[in-house]
Amino acid sequence: MHGDVDSDGGVKHVNPFAITKAVDFTDLQITTHWVDWPRPGGFAEWIGVNSPTPRIIVGGKGTGRTHLMRHFSSSVQAIRGKGDSVGQVVADGVLGIYVLCSGINASRFSGRGQDSDAWQSVFAYYMDLWLAQASLTAFSTITEQHKICESTEAAITSEIRSLIFDDVEESDLWSIHRLRREIFELQARIDKAVNNAALNPDTDFDVEILANPGQLVFGIPSAIQNHCVELQDVLFLYLIDEFENFTSAQQRYVNSLIREKVPGTSFMVGVRAYGVRTHSTLTGEENRRGSEFDEFQQDRKYVDRDQRQYRQFCQRVVARRLAEHGLVDNSDFEAFADRLNAFFEIPHRSFVEDYIVQRIPPERRPCLTRLGEDLRTHGRDASGRALTHTEICMVTDAASLPARPLLEKINTFILYRAWFNGANLIDAAHEMNDNKITPDTNDVVRPNRQQQSVLQHFSTDLQAQLSRDANLPIYYAGIGEFIAMSDGLPRNLLVILKNIWRWARFFGEDPFRIGHEIPLECQRRGVLETADWFFEDSKPIGVRGEFVQNAVARLGEFFRHLRFSRKPSESSLASFSTDLSKCSIQAREIVHLAERSALLIEVDRGQRERNSGMAEPKFHLNRLLSPRWDLPVARRGAVRLSSDEVNAIFDPDMANQFESILNVRLARMNPPFGHPRSTKSDLQGELELGR
């Protein structure tokens, strides 16, 4: 795409992250860009590629599923074999037969004047012909350099042809190529009939089915193994990718193949989370996890149990890219993986405070000005009398700490919390003055115990509020943050880095060169552009996709308002829990669709509800979306949403209630704080802070 290559004084700059999808790689690039899982046995072991039990690999867009499956495909095995393809296949223990479901154009196999039973038969036969060609191609690929003798080839083709035709003579010397051609002709006949039915649904639908379901799928590997000694112990693994392109009825056929599989053959199915429509078979039986198949939730495994390895893996992927572009030493890229932060400007801890001290005089600090306005508008003493000007000044002066804007912000938080609890603000201000710590010998003002406690829990959120006060953007910086933001989807990390590179080049920087740090602003823009792209790209297709997107936007707004309220109740908030059974059906559907589209991530083991003790499902906003609403990347606190709140956020028919629902929630976080907190369960996650 334009913008990934530019020249500067005769020097060509190429974006090392221009390619973010495995589909854009050639088979050779699949091999050269391969980074294995950082554990013994690598990915092969991790997903159990040799296991005879079929696997369903579920994951969002960008998990690396296609790269993984293609790595084990025959065409890549042939490259990895470096002249000994058969040896590579034997070493891998599998012959990978890779197919993409999109290639079948499966939506044609419905309607068109035919009933569902007819389509079921035609589709099954068509799929078998497709897989037959794929398996023959895979076999041809690996035997290209290791020619098999004519008699062996003829014996194989004869055995396969007898599955389809009655008049097979043993003396026929058919090559694999000729057989493949013949099977393609059978497929083409079906294509013509199916295509013709689109425009002429009333004419006869003439498809002759020559083989029973599964006969070719299992018969071809069997025929090959019967005549090729080297492949007798090799598992013929059908790698069926993009399974979400099949309807429920079509998936049932593949499920039947999985259920009826024979020794020597297995399946690995790659599918997006929203794309698993059924585990039923054509006979109505249900394939079960742990029995007929194993399910492998790739992105969840990355971020739940294997976080450390995921981080390492991502670092190596990045280092590998940089090495291939000559930006780091290719022979040592794995060692360099731990030093990637050297390429990024990382803001120091007191960045925002220093900025405020230099630019905003003490009497114009926004948080104190706001506190004063709140006190003027809503401040009352115990008798209900409005606070006097002197009293207001006394309170704001107590909070003031010119040299430490962050501690000043914390002081306002403590005062707001006291206000929420119904305490006397004048007394609270006096106590604040009594607890003030004088600067040390280096003139540094350190936090007192109360401030330290708040800092431990709300540091990130109050820093974010300070940034807003100073009209500074929220910065997201450094490789660790970007890996966290990828949230189990390595492709998202590559897109972040790709966009950062572009912004850096746009601003005249020399990104990813040793000794050059990419400025914060370039990182921020790259991350924000990626967040916007992800928000659009993850939208499910169709009308419900719009509902999901609008709902996630409302959720993001909800979290943003809570984060930037006067008294946020949860730290690093971007998660919620709820009892979904009490929410509307539409709300539940939209939540689940958002989760299957990776816009929401369901947290394993959920959240225990305080009163009942029951575990409720818990979700967090995909971390990559955080920049859209100035939210944190870390996930700590969670808010428990009532069913009304969930409905207002997720149910499109109740979205008009969102503003009022939000205001009810915010009333507890902004002056005059409504009534004091009445139900603990509504504020799950709030921390006891030494009142």
Partner 1 sequence: MRQADYFAFSRSSVSPNGLCTAGPWDIYFSAFDESERVQTVFDCISASDKQWLIHEEYGFSPSDAPAGSHTIAASSSPPDIQKFVQENLDRIRGRKLCVDATGFVRPHLLVLLWSLKHSGIREFDVLYSDPARYIADEKTEFTSGPVIKVEQVPGYEGIHAGFSTESDLLIIGAGYDYEQISRACESRRTSKKYILTGLPSLQPHMYQESVLRIHRAHEAIGSVSNQQWLYASANQPFAAAQVLHDLLAQEAQACGHAPRNIYLCPVGPKPHVLGFGVFYLRELEGTAASIIYPFAQQYSRLTSEGLLRTWQYHVEL
User: Which x/- pattern over 489-528 shows residues binding partner 1 (rule: CB under 8 A)?
Assistant: ------x---------------------------------
Amino acid at 456: Q
Task: State which of positions 582-621 bind partner 1 (CB under 8 A).
Answer: none
- Residue 12: beta bridge partners? 7
CA distances from 690 to 209, 425, 435, 450, 451 (A): 77, 17, 14, 8, 11
Nearest distance in Å: CB 546, partner 1: 5
Which of 381, 546, 653, 659 touches partner 1 by CB under 8 A?
A: 546
Amino acid at 356: I
User: Which x/- pattern over 29-68 shows residues binding partner 1 (rule: CB under 8 A)?
Assistant: -------------------------------------x--
Number of neighbouring beta carbons within 10 Å of residue 144: 10
Q: Which helix (H) or strand (E) element contains residue 396? A: helix 389-399
Which of 4, 159, 324, 391 touches partner 1 by CB under 8 A?
A: 4
Nearest distance in Å: CB 200, partner 1: 8
d(CA 617, CA 578): 6
Asked whether 61 and 36 are in contact (CB, 8 A), the reply is no
Answer yes or no whether residue 1 interacts with partner 1 by CB under 8 A. yes
Residue 214 phi, psi dihedral angles, 5° rounding: 85, -15
Nearest distance in Å: CB 125, partner 1: 16
Nearest distance in Å: CB 187, partner 1: 8
Nearest distance in Å: CB 272, partner 1: 11
Beta-sheet strand order (sheet of 639-640): 600-608, 615-621, 575-577, 639-640
Nearest distance in Å: CB 514, partner 1: 25
Task: State which of positions 88-127 bind partner 1 (CB under 8 A).
Answer: 98-100, 102-103, 105, 107-108, 111-113
Answer yes or no whether residue 388 interacts with partner 1 by CB under 8 A. no
Asked whether 325 and 13 are in contact (CB, 8 A), the reply is no
Site stretch for partner 1 (CB under 8 A), options 14-22, 152-160, 221-229, 313-321: 14-22
- Residue 616: beta bridge partners? 607
Task: Tell me whether residue 247 or residue 341 sits nearer to partner 1 (CB atom).
Answer: 247
Task: Tell me whether residue 67 or residue 620 sits nearer to partner 1 (CB atom).
Answer: 67
Which of 115, 204, 434, 536 touches partner 1 by CB under 8 A?
A: 536
d(CA 598, CA 62): 10
Task: Tell me whether residue 181 or residue 305 sits nearer to partner 1 (CB atom).
Answer: 181
Site stretch for partner 1 (CB under 8 A), options 128-136, 458-466, 470-478, 599-607: 128-136
DSSP 454-480: HHHHHHHHHHHHHHHHTTPPPP--SHH
Nearest distance in Å: CB 62, partner 1: 10
Q: Which helix (H) or strand (E) element contains residue 647? A: helix 643-650
Task: State which of positions 180-239 bind partner 1 (CB under 8 A).
Answer: 184, 187-188, 191-192, 194-195, 198-201
What is the sign, positive or negative, of the torsion defined by CA atoms of 648, 652, 656, 658?
A: positive
Asked whether 322 and 16 are in contact (CB, 8 A), the reply is yes
Asked whether 325 and 333 are in contact (CB, 8 A), the reply is no
Token pair 């943050």 is found at: 481
Task: Tell me whether residue 191 or residue 659 sits nearer to partner 1 (CB atom).
Answer: 191
d(CA 325, CA 537): 28
Nearest distance in Å: CB 61, partner 1: 8
Site stretch for partner 1 (CB under 8 A), options 465-473, 541-549, 586-594, 604-612: 541-549
User: Which x/- pattern over 136-175 shows residues binding partner 1 (rule: CB under 8 A)?
Assistant: -x--------------------------------------
Task: Tell me whether residue 51 or residue 196 sits nearer to partner 1 (CB atom).
Answer: 196
- What's the CA dihedral at 138, 107, 276, 54 to 10 degrees? -20
Task: Tell me whether residue 97 or residue 621 sits nearer to partner 1 (CB atom).
Answer: 97
Which of 537, 557, 609, 686 touches partner 1 by CB under 8 A?
A: 537
Which of 129, 134, 574, 624 touches partner 1 by CB under 8 A?
A: 134
Burial grade of 364 (CB within 10 A; 0-12, 13-18, 19 or more): exposed
- Residue 576: beta bridge partners? 619, 639
Which of 56, 68, 71, 75 touches partner 1 by CB under 8 A?
A: 75
Which of 377, 542, 660, 679 touches partner 1 by CB under 8 A?
A: 542
Count, residues near partner 1 per rule CB under 8 A: 50
d(CA 71, CA 21): 14
d(CA 244, CA 645): 32
Give the pair of three-digit tokens for residue 45. 């072991």
d(CA 527, CA 633): 12
Which of 11, 149, 229, 543 touches partner 1 by CB under 8 A?
A: 543
Answer yes or no whether residue 18 interacts with partner 1 by CB under 8 A. yes
What is the sign, positive or negative, of the torsion defined by CA atoms of 594, 600, 601, 607?
A: negative
Nearest distance in Å: CB 196, partner 1: 9
DSSP 243-268: GGGS-HHHHHHHHHHHHT--TTEEEE
Nearest distance in Å: CB 424, partner 1: 55
Which of 7, 24, 283, 441 touches partner 1 by CB under 8 A?
A: 24
DSSP 616-644: EEEEEE-GGGGGGGT--SS----EEPPHH
List interacting residues with partner 1 (CB under 8 A): 1-2, 4, 18-21, 23-24, 26-27, 66, 75, 98-100, 102-103, 105, 107-108, 111-113, 130, 133-134, 137, 184, 187-188, 191-192, 194-195, 198-201, 242, 495, 533, 536-537, 539, 541-543, 545-546
